[in-house]
Amino acid sequence: MEQRKQEVIEAIISKAWEDASFRKELQVDPIKAIEKLIGVKVVIPEGKSLVVTDQTDKSKIYVNIPVEPEVESLELTEEQLEAVAGGGHKIWTDFVGSLFPSLEQCLIFQK
């Protein structure tokens, strides 16, 4: 099932890259555009909405501010638990690095 979900996501992104009209449809009504592409009904969790933004302009750096994690339900690996217990910041570093790789590469600090 997870493999199928990954394939669908790849198909959506590929189609959006090659077809500007699909990309516009995806922004206006993402559920309808995706259903039309894959031929299967798309159901998202109640109370949620799907927002698609076009981030294909290579002259801009996009940063998505993610929802804050629910710390109470967060499960950490042994390595992460050790880092937290030792006062390390590896979790935050890994988190930021995975979410904002383009931004990290573009940051240049001058003295």
Q: What is the DSSP string of 14-79?
A: HHHHH-HHHHHHHHH-HHHHHHHHHSS-----TT----------TTS-----PPPP-GGG----HH
Indicate if the pLDDT at residue 17 is higher than 80.
yes
pTM: 0.61
Range of the domain at 66: 61-110
% of the chain surpassing 90 pLDDT: 30
What tokens does 8 get? 């669908």
Query: Is 46 a member of any domain?
Result: no
Structure confidence by residue, pLDDT tens digits, 30-88: 999 999 999 988 888 889 898 999 999 989 888 888 777 666 777 777 877 776 666 55
The tally of domains found in the chain comes to 2
